Structure 1
Amino acid sequence: MADGMDLFAYNVNHGATLVAMLRQPRREPSAVLESEAESLQSAKTLNTTAGGESVAEKAAEMVVDKTDETTKVTAEPAASNNEVPVELECDQCDNSLDSKCRKCGCFTCGGKDDEAHTLACDECGYYYHMRCLAVPLKEVPEGDWYCDLCRNDPNDIVIGETKLDLSKSRKSKMPSATTKREWGGGKSCAGMSKSCTVVPSNHIGSIPGVRVGQSWRFRIQVSESGVHRPPVGGIAGGSTTPAMSIVLAGGYPEDDDHGEEFYYTGSGGYDLSGNKRQAKAQSFDQELVRGNRSLALSCAAPVDEINGAVATDWKQSSPVRVCRSYKLAKMHPEFAPKEGVRYDGLYRLVKYWREKGVSGFYVWRYFFRRDDPEPAPWTEEGKQNIERLGLFMYESEDDGMTAKAKGKTPAKSAGTAEAHKRAKIQRTYVPSPELAEMIRLDKQNIRLWTQIGANTYTSESAYLEALSEGELMCPICQELVQQPCTTPCGHNICAPCLRTSMKKYGIICPMCRCDISSMGLADSVHLHMNQNLVTILKALIPSYGLSWDSKFQVACMQRALRTGITVEE
C-alpha cells in the first residue's frame, strides 16, 4: 500500500481478489559479528586519552584482523559512516574462487568473476552479473536495484482511492467477458449493494420514510429498502415469529385479489430440486412450517396446525406489509402495478385454513383485510397522494448507466420517466418546523446537522438513509445508534458499545482517540445519553427505542434509589 494509506483508502469492489506482498527484513550478522562491532565502536567512542592521543584515533589507525571459524572483521580508517566492513564465509564453497556458487557468486551462473559489473539486489541480497540478467545491462543503475524475483510491476500496485485494473485478469480473458448475450434479462443474479439500517430486520409495521405507492423496478431493491427482506421468497418470517411482509405475484392459482381484501396461498408444494425450478404444477401437500407458520402466528388466535383458526378480533392481528408485483397482472390487472413492485400498505390476517387446491393437493390459504390510514394506490385518492408526495419508481443509479453503456434506453414507461424526472428536479425533502426545532436544540451535534442540512434529499426515506448509514451509525456495531452518547469530539456511539470500548481501551473515543473523560466517571459506566438526539430519532422513527427505553428508565430509577445519586442520562 502507498505511504500513509490503509485498506479503507482503497476502492475495492465486492468479490475482488487482493494479493498482499510482505517485505522481509534483511538477514542480520551473527551474534559474534555484532559483539565484535560493538566492542570496536566502544573503543572508538571512548573519551580516555593515552599519551595525548585519544584511543578512538588510535583505533582508527589500526587494522584489526581477527579470523575464527565463523567471522572475519576488518576495521579500515577510511570508513566515513562509522560502519565496519563485514565479510562472511560461505558455508557452501568456503569462499573458494575456483568453484561456482550461487550463494556468494552470481545467482544465475554461479561465477565470481567481473566484480565491477556485478549487482547486489537490495531486497534479497543475492549477486547478479549484469550480462546474466534477463535484460542485460550495460551501465550500473543508479539508486536501488532489485532482481527480477523481487521487483514489483508498478502497474500492479494500487494507489490510494483508485480501482484495481482488471484488464489483465483471468476473468477478462474468458468468453463471458466479451459476450453480447443478456443472461437473465435483469437483476436475477445481482447481490444486495446495501441493507436497511433504519429498523431491525424483524421489524413489524411500516418502514419509516416509505409511503404507500412507492415502487421499485427490481425485487432486490425492495429487499434493500427493508420493506420485504427476502430477495426471492414471498413470505418474510420464521417458524417462531409473526410474518413481517408478503409479496403478491400470482404464483398459485388459488390466489384471489380484491384490492382491499385478498386470499393468499402459502408457500411450498412445488418440486424445486435439480433443474425443476420452473415447475408448473403442485406435486405434494403444503405444511404449516417456516413462512406458512409465521403467517399463522400473525393471526389473533391460537395456532391450529390441522384446521386453521379465525381471529377473535382481526384488528388485533399483527400488521403485515403487502407488496404487489407486476406479475400479478396476469390474474388481477386492476390492482397490480404496470411494472416493478409496489408497496400497498398494511394488512391484517382475518383467518387461515387448510383445503384442497386446484392440483388436488392440500394448500394453506390466508384471508387478509387492509388496515392502513393511507389511501390505496389504485384509487383516485391514492393516485393524488402519490402525485402530491412526488413518489416515483426507484431505480439505482447504475441501472441507467448500464443501459447507456449497452447503447439501449432504460426500460421504463413515459409516465414513469416523467415522474422520475419531475421528482428529481422539483421534489426535495424538507424537515417539518417541529423537527427543525428539535434539531436546533441538539447543540452537541451542530456539525452533524449542518452537514446534513447542506445536502438535498428527494424523499424522507433518502433522508433517513443518510442518517442511519452516515453520522448516526455506531462505529462499533455498525447499526443505527441506540442509547446514543455524543462524545465531546462530536461522534455518536451506542452506550453499551462505548462501555465495552472504555473497558478494553480506556476513556478515549473509538473514532478519533481523543479524551472523553468528561462524559462520565472514569471508573463507572454512568454515561450521559443525548436525550435531544433520542427525541429527534423518535420523531423520525416511531418504533425507535421501544426495545430499551422503558428498561433504561427503570434502571436509572433503581440506581438512583440504591445510590442516592440521580444521573442525568
Structure 2
Amino acid sequence: MAHDSNRNLPCDGDNRCMICKLTPPPEETLTCKTCVTPWHLNCLSVRPQTLAEATQWECPDCSNLISSHAPPSTVTSGSEQSDSLIAAIRAIESDDSLSDQDKAKRRQQLLSGGGSGDGDTAIDDGNGNGNEIGSGGDNDVLKLISGSFNCSFCMQLPERPVTTPCGHNFCLKCFEKWVGQGKRTCAICRTAIPPKMASQPRINSSLVTAIRMAKMTKSNTSSGPSKPYYSVTNQNRPDKAYTTERAKYSGKANACSGKIFVTVPPDHFGPILAENDPERGTGVLVGETWEDRMDCRQWGAHLPHVSGIAGQSDYGAQSVALSGGYEDDEDHGEWFLYTGSGGRDLSGNKRTNKTQSFDQKFEKSNEALRVSCRKGYPVRVVRSHKEKRSAYAPEKGVRYDGIYRIEKCWRKPGIQGFKVCRYLFVRCDNDPAPWTSDEHGDRPRPLPSIEELKNATDVTERKGTPSWDYDEQKACWLWKKPPPESRKHANNEGVEDGNGSSSRKSRRKTQMSVSERLLKEFCCPICHKVMTQPLTTPCAHNFCKSCLQDAFAGQTFMKARTCEGRRTLRAKKNIMKCPSCPHDISEYLQNPQVNRELMSVIESLQRQTKETEENAVSGEETSNSDQKNDDINDENPETEVMNLEVGEPGIEVMQDLKRKKSGDQKNDDVKDENPETEANNMSMEVGESGIEVMKEGFEADQI
C-alpha cells in the first residue's frame, strides 16, 4: 500500500498501523523505549540498522527524528520548532519555584499550543472567545472548567459529558462516534472501555451541573447587574407568621416565619433563660403553649416547623417534637420512647408518608440524637395536640414540656416490619412537669426497664459522665461540662445597650460564592463531603476513593463454591452494586483509576475559595482598624496633629511653658505679628536644662 513516507504515525489501540491500516505481526512491531508506543517497522521513514539500535530505539515523537527524504525547508522549520519545544519543557522542569502540579499544567499548556508555558494561557470558551487564565475577573471559574474538562476530540467544553473509568471526558456525540468506529479504548490513554459503557454510555450529571453553573456565572456577569433579591431582617418581621404574594395556598401552608423573639443561636442547647428573652425577661417557661409550630419556632423552643428533630449529625440534637408522626412512639410523661426519622418514601415532593418502606439508619437527624445521647446534652421537648395516643399531649396547640436527656438508643424491627431507630428520653428539668402538682423539679430517677431491648441491635449507651447532670449541693440540674460552642450567630438584631446603640456587631453577609457552590456539587454521596481522590464509575457516579473502597471492604471479587463439600464448583463472580444505582461495578473496583481532571478542578476551587476567604478577612480587619483609628482621632483631635511620649519631668516643663505662654499677652501679640519667631521663642524659654530633662524622661519611658 502506497503511503506518504514523510508521515510517521504509530499503531492505534487495536495494534493497527495508522498509515497502512494493517495489523503487523509482533516481529514487525517496534516499541519506543520512552513512551512505550508500538510502531509498524515497515512504515517508518527511518529504521534502526542494528539490533542494539532497535533495543534503544526512540520513536520520532520522542527523538525528534526527521525523514531524510523531506524537503530541506521542512526539516529546518520542524527541527527548530521541536528544539524550541524541548527547550521550553526543560526550562519548566528546571524551575525549582514551581510545584509538580504547576509544572504539569504548564507542560500541558505548552503541548496543546497554549503558549510558551511561562505565563497565562488563553482558552476558548466554546464560542470563540479567548479568556486568559489567572487574569482575574468574574469568569475565573469558567476558565478553570474550560481548561480542565475539554473534550479530547472537539477540544470544547463537553456537550452532555461522558466520563470514562480512566477519568477522561468526552462529548456524548464524540464518544458514540469513536465507539461506532469499533474503537474500544480511551482516545487519550488507550485504556479499555467496559463493554456495557460502550453500548450504553451514561452522562456525568455532576459535570453537567458544574459546567452549567460556570456558564451561568459568565452570562450573569456579561448581562449586567443581577436581579435584586430582597430579604426581611428579623427586626422588621411581623410578630406573627405571614404570607406573601408568592404564597399559593391560604393559611400557614406557605407562611413565612414571624420575628424570632429570643436571642439564642439556632443551635443552642438547654433551656432558654431570662437573659435571652428581651421581650418579656422571663425566658421560655415550662408549660408555655403556642397556637402552632410556627409560633413555637418564634420562641426558639423547636425551630423546624415540619421536622420533628432539630439537630446536626456531627454536633448533636437541640430539640424534638412529639406530634404523632410514628405509631411506634410510647409516651409515659417523665420518660418516653421516641422513634427516629426516615425509612419512608418522600419522592414526588411528598411532605409526609405514613407507610414505612425501608430501614432507618443512624444518619443525619438520627445520628444527631445519638451524639446527644453519648455526650449527655439536654434536649428540649415540645408536645403537639396531634399526638392522639398520648395522655400527656396538650388539648390544643403546642406545649413546651422542659428538658429531657437521652439515656439509650438502639434499633429494632418496627410495627410495619422495617427497622427503626429508638431513643429513651428521661426528664431532667428544674421546673415541675405541666401534668404534675409538684412544687419542685425532677430528681435523678432509675431508668425504666425496656422489654424491646432484648431483641435490639446497635445499642448505644453513654459511657462517661453527662454534660447536663444533677448537682447534689445546689439541688438543681446544670451544665457539669462546658456547653458546646455555638457554630451559628445568635439573633441579637434590635437589642440595644445602655447607650442606645445596637449590641450586635454588623457582620459580613456570607453569600456563597460560585466556587463554594461548585464544591458543594462535587460532594461524595457516601461521606457527603468534598471528594478526595475522586473516582468516576462506569455508571457516571463520583465517589471518594477511600469511601468507595471502604463500602466493599472485606468482599472478594470471586466466591468459591462447592457441591455439598464434596467437590469444587466453578467460582462465581460477586456482584458489587454501585452505592447510587444497581449497576455492577465489580470489574471496575479491581483497578479503579483516580479522575485526575476532576481532582485538579476540586483542588483549584478549594485554593480559590481559601484565598477569597483570606482576602475577605484581611480586608475586614483593615477596615475595622481604620474605623477604630478614625474613632480615636474624632474623640481626641489634638493627638491627630501631635502625639509625643515624654517622661514626667519633661511634661512638667512643657506645662510651665504653656502657663507662661497663656499669661503673657504681649508675647502673643508679637507672635501674631511675626509667626516665624514663635518656635525660636519657645526654644529660648525651654533652655538646655529643659531639653535635657525632656530627653531623660523620654529615655526612662523607653526603658
Q: By the TM > 0.5 criterion, same fold? A: no
TM-score interval, normalised by the smaller of the two chains: 0.3 to 0.5
Q: TM-score normalized by structure 2?
A: 0.29
Q: TM-score normalized by structure 1?
A: 0.36
